Structure 1
Amino acid sequence: MSAEVVDANPYSRLMALQRMGIVKNYEEIRTFTVAVVGVGGVGSVTAEMLTRCGIGKLILFDYDKVEMANMNRLFFQPNQSGLSKVEAAKETLSFINPDVTFETHNYNITTVANFDHFMSRLKEGSLTGGPVDLVLSCVDNFEARMAINTACNELGQTWFESGVSENAVSGHIQFIKPGETACFACAPPLVVASNIDEKTLKKEGVCAASLPTTMGIVAGFLVQNTLKYLLRFGTVTRYLGYNALQDFFPSYGMKPNPSCDESFCVKRQKEFAVAVAAAAKVPTVVAEVEDDAVLHENNEWDISVVDETVPEEENLEVAQGIALSYSRPAEVEGGGDISKQAPSVPTSTANEPSLEELMAQMKRL
């Protein structure tokens, strides 16, 4: 074993982040609780990465069982066929790192009874009995994503949404903080916005998102940003996509929709706006200024001196492809805008006819 991993927690390599000055205390990872919803292609890899990083507690949710078709899920084994995915995951992950606390729930979170229990575990499932620190959505259908979105909006719970496309060559992750960023309902997928039943996309005998490479890449992005969020280093991405065909990685921010159908999303937006406004109100500090010597005790005509100097226009630089709609009017000598000056009267020159000559020409017409 290398000297780098000889530590109180030999299962975590995060100590390197502290030695390199990236994080202040990598051992803080042991205090966090993360809920992983969906232990399939992305979720199983995500849970394994967090386990190897020494996360304090993992809460795993999934309703499905392990099948032979799931052997492309990286850590599932043939002898686990028939077990629930969460129990199989706990069995494997506990062997990898016995210091992690595991909590498993084998049910469908979209049913009414299970949804209430799901919310209670997000609210009270941490190591200290309080809310979990982060929720990671690794499900493969719109209904489950909306259930997670509804729960997190109501609880004000920060979470990550992730997914892999049906053709298995693209995926994405999205950071969602209720009220501050767009929730999943603010900008629904095109297929849902177009009123197309997502079940029609599934093909007979085809396992969606079945490439371990794509799943591993998306899970890596998800866990990397989870670590950045929990240990407070770097910049947490708002949205990061991945297109394997062109190796294209789009990244951008998504603002919440004021007209979102989720009532709790709109409520969180209002709360966030109030918090921002309150933070912007800085108490006014009145500085004590020594009075200047009085030059004139009496000022019968209320004469005062003011500075009317016009500040010089800043040198405005715009990005490529953007132009200013108008320019500031030029100033003329003596002050004022050139557009407000009286038009100048042209001066007669020797080549122009005199007034008498013009009148004589008019009479001859």
Structure 2
Amino acid sequence: MDQFARTRQLLGALAMEKIQQSTVAVFGLGAVGSFATEALARAGVGNLHLIDFDRVDATNINRQLFALHSTIGRQKAVIAGERVKDINPHCRVQIHSSFVNAQSLEDLLFKDIDVVVDAIDGLNSKINLLVEARQMDLAAVSSMGAGGRTDVSMIKTGDISETCVCPLARVVRQRLHRRGFYEGVRAVYSIEKPLNKQAFRPEDAVDALKGHGRSRPPIGTVSWVPGVFGLTIAGEVINQITQRS
């Protein structure tokens, strides 16, 4: 039986063909990116480029799809690639265990990408990716802040210019404005005000970028909100692919 029969039945044969011929690059394979990758693979995306320099640690297990006790210490990009191939052996997967910056993007972005997924935590890397994607006229879907939230009903989608409440979205808008971009990035964001019930413990403060940039205090997270962010991003990506002429 065709594993994509149900998707084809719902979306139609032409849409399914577009999905299977599409190329999507997912930058960041943590909480949001792992669920986005899962949904894109199960939807039948034919070409996936998976980018993340990080390795799984124990603090990832509460929210990241690829994080298990059995995968601690392994590269997220490698785990993601293995899982995608197990879901869809026909998917052409390229993995890149790379840190995203202005230099590495020269090898990670190219014109044949249909949609870029930004699920990066680091602000500088996020801005560099979005600016480069816009300069190359590539469609992009970007995740704003999923940490500190618990209410999935507050999750919204829209152009980056329409975002509100989210502190990360405000900073992203400001940084993009400095680079001359005001719209053209599809965003998934929450209008729930972020909240931590208690301050982080010093022993839990891990260098989130592991040698890249400055250490940051962790933000409290739950299992369900980042997952919905990732699944929502996947839906936005599939809509962009199937609605093209």
Q: TM-score, normalised by structure 2?
A: 0.70
1:13 equivalent to 2:6? Answer yes
Q: In the alignment, which residue of structure 2 is the partner of 1:68?
A: 58
In the alignment, the residues of structure 2 paired with residue 223 and residue 172 of structure 1 have an alpha-carbon distance, to the nearest angstrom, of: 14
Note the C-alpha offset of 1:45: 0.3
In the alignment, the residues of structure 2 paired with residue 103 and residue 174 of structure 1 have an alpha-carbon distance, to the nearest angstrom, of: 29
- Map residues 22-171 of structure 1 onto 2, 5 A cutoff: 24-72=14-62, 73-110=64-101, 112-118=102-108, 122-123=109-110, 130-169=111-150
1:227 counterpart (188, 213, 238): 238
The alignment partner of 2:45 has SS state of coil
Contact 1:165 1:208 in 2 (8 A): no
Q: In the alignment, which residue of structure 2 is the partner of 1:282?
A: none
Q: In the alignment, which residue of structure 2 is the partner of 1:212?
A: 223
The alignment partner of 2:93 has SS state of strand
Paired letter, 2:239:
K
Note the C-alpha offset of 1:165: 3.8
Give a deviation string over 1:33-89, Cα, whole Å, max 9, x none.
000000000000000000011110110111111112222312433222111110011
Paired letter, 1:216:
G
In the alignment, the residues of structure 2 paired with residue 14 and residue 175 of structure 1 have an alpha-carbon distance, to the nearest angstrom, of: 27
Give a deviation string over 1:120-140, Cα, whole Å, max 9, x none.
xx21xxxxxx52000010111
Contact 1:163 1:173 in 2 (8 A): no
Paired letter, 2:87:
I
In the alignment, the residues of structure 2 paired with residue 163 and residue 209 of structure 1 have an alpha-carbon distance, to the nearest angstrom, of: 15
User: Which has the greater radius of gyration?
Assistant: 1
In the alignment, the residues of structure 1 paired with residue 147 and residue 168 of structure 2 have an alpha-carbon distance, to the nearest angstrom, of: 17
Percentage of pairs with the same residue: 23
Q: Any unmatched runs of 5+ in structure 2?
A: 176-195, 206-217
Q: What is the aligned length?
A: 200
Distance 1:212 1:11, change over 3 A: farther
In the alignment, the residues of structure 1 paired with residue 137 and residue 237 of structure 2 have an alpha-carbon distance, to the nearest angstrom, of: 17
The alignment partner of 1:140 has SS state of coil
Contact 2:51 2:77 in 1 (8 A): yes
Paired letter, 1:149:
L
Contact 2:29 2:51 in 1 (8 A): yes
In the alignment, the residues of structure 1 paired with residue 127 and residue 220 of structure 2 have an alpha-carbon distance, to the nearest angstrom, of: 20
Q: Which has the higher contact order (CA 8 A, sep 6+)?
A: 2
Paired letter, 2:238:
L
Distance 1:173 1:42, change over 3 A: farther
Note the C-alpha offset of 1:164: 2.8
The alignment partner of 1:14 has SS state of helix
Contact 2:146 2:225 in 1 (8 A): no
Contact 1:139 1:163 in 2 (8 A): no
Paired letter, 2:227:
G
Distance 1:102 1:71, change over 3 A: same
The alignment partner of 1:76 has SS state of coil
Q: Any unmatched runs of 5+ in structure 1?
A: 1-5, 124-129, 195-200, 234-365
Contact 2:105 2:129 in 1 (8 A): no
The alignment partner of 2:103 has SS state of helix
Quick check: 71-80 or 55-64, which moved more?
Answer: 71-80
Distance 1:14 1:86, change over 3 A: same
In the alignment, the residues of structure 1 paired with residue 123 and residue 98 of structure 2 have an alpha-carbon distance, to the nearest angstrom, of: 17
- Structure with the higher helix share, 1 or 2: 2
- CA RMSD of superposed structures (Å): 3.0
In the alignment, the residues of structure 2 paired with residue 232 and residue 84 of structure 1 have an alpha-carbon distance, to the nearest angstrom, of: 34
Note the C-alpha offset of 1:12: 5.7
